[in-house]
Every structure is written in structure tokens, then in C-alpha cells.
Amino acid sequence: MTEQSTGESTSLRLDPVVARAFARFSGGFWKGETARAAWALTLGLAAFLLLSLVATVALNRWNRWFFDALERKDAETAALAVLVFAGIIAAMAAVGVGIVLTRETLQVRWRAWIVDRLLGTWLARDRYYHLGVTHTEPANPEYRIADDTRWATEPLVDLAIGLFSALTGAAAFISILWSVGGSIDVSVAGVALTIPAYMVLLALAYGGFMSGLMLYVCRPLVSCFARKNEAEGIFRFALMRLRENAESVALLRGAESEKQAFKAAYDTVVTRWLAIVRQHGRLTWITNSSGPMIPIVPLLFAAPKYFSGELTLGEVTQLAGAFVQVQMAISWLVDNYNRIAECYASARRVMVLVEASEAVEAGLAGLDGRKIVMTTSADATISLSGVSVHDPAGRPLVNSASLSLAPGERVGISGNSSAGKTALVRAIAGLWPWGRGRVDTPRGLTTMIMPQKPYMPMGTLRSALLYPFNQKAIGDDRLIEILTGVGLQHLAHRLSEEDRWDQILGTGERQRIAVARALVHAPDVLVVDDGLSSLEASAQKALLDLVAAEMPHTAILNFGQRERADDFDHRRLVLETRSGGSILRASAEMAAKA
């Protein structure tokens, strides 16, 4: 998998369109049901930040008071200042605790809300499925939901705190530079000049020049972070695929081949991380040159007024501290550019998933008359009327299939592996809109599909049996009875065990679990899509007879590659492969009997 295959570009700049889209998507946290808690956390955090600024300004003023006392050799005032200093530090510590608690709570709650909404967007109306079958799913959606939501939100809160502190701090400390520094008289070519608020102008000029230089150097970071995140996602996906296919790889002795593939994927991660390291190296040339100069520059420019007696030692110290604070405010963007770049890259990956989910929904809505219509029937019969199934590109798979299925009726449909059986199953389930025709189902009808490879959720064996309606009230005695009936009595004592049941159980055992699941939920319609193919014919017959006996009113649609030799089915149909799409007709055996 490459970057190009994902359909994403690694932009070389911060795109405001992406930023606005993410703000609209994630900003819902401050609206609706979560608005009260969100605003309480936000305003509480802002209040603590303002208190922190007050404490910092107080400390700046304390510096002037204390050093003036030292200059005057006023021991009594200096001793009092030490006591005041202890109070300021205690206040700063308390405010710091408040900032940490409100900040981290806001980060956790906001991310939880975004993950919940992102899951809803991805899972709603089977979008996750349609993204896969249309090959429009962005790479590694699980990484985007689990990790990119974190890297798009946690740094953003910290950045917002930094920006708020930078703006309020700049306003407070520029006023100190203005009032304490005053103006300075200089002589240029024999002409006397007065420069008003010269410390303010110096702070702005110095900060503006260094910030502009660092922004110029940092430009490629956005692209570097985007490419790095993409490589991380691909590497994680490769590791996940090995875990999910461990047995197949082991049987093929494919460990060495997988290792080579992992190494190649991680080499890409390393290469892209090193690109970021090089950018950081270039940035460090500037930061390490500028950083030590910041506290020295104001002292150099305040020295003439100190030597002339216009400034006291305390005022010089106060000016130096205020100058440093203003530089921190001015350089906020530059100091945090790499974090902004990484935050933006993750936000973009989140929005790609959101936009892809919405786009596939819009694409399905735009099919108009070129889709299979799901309607409600007036009676208890489920029916297909002229259903033609196409693939997303418009190629025909099944042509004009018609079928009715009454409660308790059992219909077998056979056909080879390319006849379109699974495509027809998807259409009946309402998952596959591509095609034409109509599927009528009674209101409130419950349908359960038994695929060839049954899904086993994470958790206990009990939850696997109750899936997907885990709230269903059913006792363990009944579950044990069902397990025994489907031939899994050896698992009866493991109902409460949590394990990887998809790996522990063989394919045949998982198919028996699927039968047990059907007996637990007793659906109105059971569609078996080669769902017993891993079992012997005698076991298949026994399980189907058990289902018919336990659920006599359930309509059963049984798809398989071969016609059944027993008399389980009331009717038998064949999906016959044709160039314009398979057709559904009565089997030769049934036609002969008729």
C-alpha cells in the first residue's frame, strides 16, 4: 500500500479549508447535550490561565521590589519580600493544579466526543461496509479513529492554551515595557532623536525578525508530518494483518517474507522520521542562537539608562523579565510550529475518513432509479421482484430474480462460486443497493444472515452467542442446552471466558456457533449463505433439522454450491451463470416432480 493508493495528498502547506472543516466537525462538543460541560471546562480553564497571568505579573513586579531593596541595602524590605515571594509561589502552584485538571479533563472529554461522533459517521447506515466494497475507504481507518483523534485534539488544547497565554501575556508585559522603559534619547549624525517606547519597539522588531526566519525554515514540516503519519498507519496495518492471518502465514512458512515486508514498511517510517529530524536540526540552529540572546538583549539596551541613573536595578530586572515574556508571546507560533504541523496532519486524516464516509453516502443517494429498492410489504411474505444485482461499476451479477418466501417456508438456492449467490444475499439484507428491482419485507421483520465465515466478537463466549443483541435476557441453562444441541457441549463450561474465539475455534465450530446464535434469537427469516459448508452432510442435515424443529415459523433461505440431496427444502432454485448476469430458475429435480 502506498500513499497514492489512499487517495490522499501530503500537502506542503497548512490548508485553511481542512482546518475549518475539522473545526465544524469537532466544534459540536460545545453544542447540544455536551455544551454545558464543555463550556464549564473551557471557561474554567480560561479563568485559571488569567489567574496564572496575574501571578506571573505579580512575580515580575516582585523582582523590581526585591532588587531595589537589595540596591538600597534595605534588609527589612528584602525579608518582607521573601515572605511575599512564598505566597506568590504557593498561589502559582495552586493555579497550576487547576490548569492541569481542567486542561486534561477537557482533552479527554473532547476526544471521547469526537471518537463517538467519528464512529457514528463511519458505522452509520453501513458506511464502513460500502467504503470497503467501493474501494474508497481511506487507509487504516482504525488508526485514524484511535490515534489521529488524539493527536488532533490533545495538542490543539495545549496550543489554544499557549495562544491565549501568549496574547494576554503580550498585552500585560508590553504595557510594562512601555511604562517602565519609557523613551530614549539618541544622537544620529549630530541630530538628537527621541525614540518613544523604545523597549516595546525593540521587543517587536527582535521577535518579528526571529519568528519570520524560523517560519521560513519550518515550512516543510507539515508535509513531513503528513508523510510520517501515513507511514506509521501502513506499518501498523501490516502488523495487524499478520496477527489476523497468523495460521495461514505459519503454514506457508512465510515469517521471513513477512519480516522483509515489515522491514521495508518500517524503513519508510524511519526515512520519514529522519526528514522531520533534519527539519528540527535546521530549526535548532536558530532557536539555540536566539534563545541565549533573549535575556541579554534587554539588558544591553537598558544599560545606558541605568548608568545615567534613569533606571534602577529593580526596573532593569523588571524590563528584562517583561522582554522575555513578550518574546515568548511573539515566538509562540514558531515555537509550536512542529506541533501545529503534526496536529494539522492528524486532523486532515480524520477529515479524510469523515469526507469519505459522507461521499459514499452521497454516492448511494445519487443512484436514483439505478438501485434496489427496499419496501414494506402488506402481508407476512418476503419477496423479490425483478431484482438485478450489479457491482459498483455497473457490471451485472444477477439478472431479474423474483422470489417469494412465506413464514415457515424453506427454499434452497444452489449455484457455483461465481453465480452471484453472495451478491443476492447482500441485496436481500439491504446492504447492496447497486442494481434494480424491489425487495419487499414485512414491517418489523427480523432477518439473520449466516455467512460462510461467521463473525466472532471480542469478549466472552456468552457475548458471542448473544451477538448482536447482547441485551437479550436468556439464562445460561438455555445457552448450555443450545450449545449441546449444536454439538458444542465441550464449550458449555466456558460461557464466561474471554478469549480470541475467532482464533481458538475452527471454521466448523464457528459455523455451529452461528447456528446456536440463530436459535438464541429466533429470527423471522434465516438466510444461510454457505453457512454450513465446512461440516459434513450428515452434520448439516442434523443442524438444519434442529433449526426447523426449534423455529417452525422461521422462513429459511439456504444458499449453497450444490443442491441438497435430502427433503429439507420445500422448494429448490438454481442460480445459473449467464453472460448478462445469473438467472434464478427452478431446479431440474423440482421441475420434474411438478
Q: Is the pTM of this model over 0.95?
A: no
Fold of the CATH domain 370-593: Rossmann fold (3.40.50)
pLDDT (tens digit, 9 = 90+) per residue, 447-491?
999 999 999 988 899 999 999 887 777 889 999 999 999 999 999
pLDDT (tens digit, 9 = 90+) per residue, 229-280?
788 888 888 888 887 777 678 877 888 888 988 999 999 999 999 988 888 8
Residue 356, pLDDT above cutoff 90: yes
5-9, 72-76, 241-245, 384-388: least confident range: 5-9
Rounded to whole angstroms, what are the CA distances from 218 to 16, 25, 65, 120, 207?
18, 28, 41, 36, 16
Question: What class, spelled out in words, does domain 12-365 have in CATH?
Answer: mainly alpha
pLDDT (tens digit, 9 = 90+) per residue, 513-538?
999 999 999 999 999 999 999 999 89
Give me the pLDDT at residue 165, please. 86
Q: Are 49 and 165 in contact (CB under 8 A)?
A: yes
Q: Are 279 and 337 in contact (CB under 8 A)?
A: no
- Domain boundaries in the chain? 12-365, 370-593
DSSP state of 145: I
The DSSP line for 33-96 is GGHHHHHHHHHHHHHHHHHHHHHHHHHHHHHHHHHHHHHHT-HHHHHHHHHHHHHHHHHHHHHH
Q: Are 434 and 395 in contact (CB under 8 A)?
A: no
102-111, 329-338, 552-561: least confident range: 329-338
Give me the pLDDT at residue 411, please. 93
Give me the pLDDT at residue 366, please. 79
Mean pLDDT of all residues belonging to the chain? 86
Residue 547, pLDDT above cutoff 90: yes
- Rounded to a whole number, what is the distance in angstroms from the first to the last CA of the chain? 55
Residue 7, pLDDT above cutoff 60: no
Three state DSSP letters for 411-423:
EEEECCCCCCHHH
304 band by pLDDT with thresholds 50, 70 and 90? confident
- Nearest Cα neighbor of 64 from 246, 279, 291, 320 is 320
4 band by pLDDT with thresholds 50, 70 and 90? very low
112-126, 143-157, 229-243, 327-341: least confident range: 327-341
Half-sphere exposure of 529 (CA within 13 A, CB side): 20
Look up residue 118 and give its amino acid: L
The CA-based diameter of the chain, rounded to the nearest angstrom, is 121
